[in-house]
């Protein structure tokens, strides 16, 4: 119910923004109309007749093409002036830079271009993909510097998202209600994740993403606003790779009953056995298996036992361990970039662990 209210509030905001834009366009038409009457080479009676029909047209919602030669429908709606399109996208241009304003395609995997008509694509506007339930994945180019309010809200078919390193803020409601989202990669460039509410209705960036089971917060993040991950019912773990950020109200409220915060030993601002009202523990970020499986997974303990009781007991095994930890950062980075690779690694480890445990 609360999720539906949040989506409803976002749709109202979207409608208000588009209506405001339409009203401005209508006002411009009225002004151009006035200037076209005065120099007209007609009799006064004819001019009066034109003015009367124009007034009637504007306020009754009929169709007129007297002054501008364009079709106008009123009732506080919009003119027929269309935004330019590029493939399946609508866009606007300002200062020789492009903002993606909407999507008119069928869904599936979508790749957003980095340039349109020779101009860089710098922003994805507010609500640009909102409600596109057929969307399954989106590739965002590194040229994008801002993703607007509610951009992907209600995209229930969206399963994975990699946010480029050019983004510094994930805005309020960006992925609100994306119930199919199971993997999201937050880059080290992000410093804040938006939340908050309107009239008590929450607008957290990931509010209601019930498919999420784990999330990694990079060390660049310094603030997480109200209810950002609230009602992510299956979210079991949040891994913090840096010091504790400034936290809003109820950031992880109504997550899984076993939800736990993990932080690196020595990080400042965290406490154990609980932090901000959530159970908390330390973890070793150098271990890719930990990132893939989760700190409390029994499979992880089987792998550790195999490492200590078997691999560490001979020179070849010790060399394998050394290579593994020397390349841990690269392995982790690859897993973060590819949710599919991360899931494949999890399945492989869960198969291998029982086998090596028998030896």
Domain ranges of the chain: 8-81, 85-283, 292-357
Helix then strand count (H, E) for the chain reads 7, 21
Burial of 332 (0-12, 13-18, 19+ CB in 10 A): buried
pLDDT of 273 > 80? The answer is yes
- Tell me how far CA of residue 237 lies from CA of 240, 270, 304, in angstroms: 10, 15, 20
pLDDT of 131 > 90? The answer is yes
pLDDT value at position 280?
96
Give the residue, 38 or 16, on which the prediction is more confident.
Answer: 16
Q: How confident is the model at residue 50 (pLDDT cuts 50, 70, 90)?
A: very low
Give the residue, 305 or 351, on which the prediction is more confident.
Answer: 351
Q: Which of 187, 174, 183, 204 is nearest to 136 (CA)?
A: 183
Q: Name the least confident of 7-21, 64-78, 135-149, 287-301.
A: 64-78
Place of tokens 């930890």: 325
pLDDT of 49 > 90? The answer is no
pLDDT value at position 326?
66
pLDDT of 166 > 90? The answer is yes
Q: Name the least confident of 15-29, 142-156, 172-186, 280-294.
A: 15-29
Handedness of CA 325, 327, 330, 331 (dihedral sign): negative
Joined together, the tokens standing for residue 339 give 């949710």
pLDDT of 67 > 50? The answer is no
Q: Which of 175, 172, 184 is nearest to 156 (CA)?
A: 175
Whether the full predicted model's pTM is greater than 0.85, yes or no, is no
The average pLDDT across 21-34 equals: 39
Q: How confident is the model at residue 302 (pLDDT cuts 50, 70, 90)?
A: confident
Highest mean pLDDT among 19-28, 60-69, 207-216: 207-216
- The per-residue pLDDT of the chain, averaged, comes to 78
Q: Name the least confident of 32-46, 131-145, 232-246, 269-283.
A: 32-46
Summarised one tens digit per residue, pLDDT across range 188-205 is 899 999 998 887 788 999
pLDDT value at position 61?
38
Cα–Cα distance measured from residue 141 to residue 111, given in angstroms and rounded to the nearest whole number: 8
Joined together, the tokens standing for residue 56 give 């009637």
DSSP secondary structure, 4-57, as one string: HHHHHHHHHHHHHHHHHHHHHHHHHHHHHHHHHHTT--S-HHHHHHHHHHHHHH
Q: Name the CATH architecture for the domain at 85-283.
A: Alpha-Beta Horseshoe (3.80)
Cα–Cα distance measured from residue 78 to residue 18, given in angstroms and rounded to the nearest whole number: 9
Cα–Cα distance measured from residue 212 to residue 232, given in angstroms and rounded to the nearest whole number: 7
Q: How confident is the model at residue 10 (pLDDT cuts 50, 70, 90)?
A: low
Q: Name the least confident of 12-21, 255-264, 298-307.
A: 12-21
Place of tokens 């801002």: 146
Give the residue, 317 or 148, on which the prediction is more confident.
Answer: 148
- Give the CA-trace dihedral at 194, 200, 206, 211, to 10 degrees: 170
């Amino acid at each position: 119910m609360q999720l539906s209210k949040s989506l409803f509030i976002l749709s109202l905001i979207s409608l208000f923004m588009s209506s405001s834009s339409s009203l401005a366009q209508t006002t411009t038409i009225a002004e151009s109309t006035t200037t076209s009457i005065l120099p007209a080479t007609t009799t006064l009676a004819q001019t009066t007749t034109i003015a009367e029909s124009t007034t009637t047209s504007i306020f009754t919602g009929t169709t007129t093409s007297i002054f501008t030669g364009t079709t106008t429908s009123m009732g506080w709606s919009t003119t027929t002036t269309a935004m330019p399109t590029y493939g399946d996208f609508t866009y606007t241009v300002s200062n020789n830079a492009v903002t993606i304003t909407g999507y008119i395609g069928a869904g599936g995997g979508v790749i957003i271009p980095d340039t349109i008509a020779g101009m860089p694509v710098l922003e994805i506007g507010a609500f640009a993909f909102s409600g596109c339930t057929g969307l399954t994945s989106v590739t965002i180019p590194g040229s994008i510097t801002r993703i607007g309010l509610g951009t992907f809200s209600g995209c229930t078919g969206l399963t994975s998202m990699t946010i480029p390193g050019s983004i510094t803020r994930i805005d309020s409601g960006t992925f609100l209600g994306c119930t199919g989202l199971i993997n999201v990669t937050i880059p080290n460039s992000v410093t804040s994740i938006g939340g908050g509410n309107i009239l008590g209705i929450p607008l957290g960036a990931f509010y209601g993403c019930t498919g999420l089971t784990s999330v990694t917060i990079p060390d660049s993040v310094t603030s997480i606003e109200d209810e950002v991950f609230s009602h992510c019912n299956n979210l079991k773990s949040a891994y913090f790779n840096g010091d504790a950020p400034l936290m809003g109200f109820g950031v992880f409220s109504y997550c899984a009953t076993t939800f736990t915060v993990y932080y690196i030993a020595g990080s400042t601002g965290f406490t154990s056995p609980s932090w901000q009202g959530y159970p908390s523990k330390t973890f070793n970020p150098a271990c890719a298996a930990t990132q893939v499986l989760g700190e409390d997974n029994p499979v992880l303990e089987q792998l550790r036992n195999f490492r200590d009781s078997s691999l560490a007991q001979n020179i070849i095994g010790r060399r394998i361990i050394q290579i593994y930890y020397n390349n841990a950062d690269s392995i982790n980075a690859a897993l973060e970039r590819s949710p599919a690779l991360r899931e494949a690694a999890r399945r492989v480890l869960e198969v291998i662990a029982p086998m090596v445990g028998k030896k």
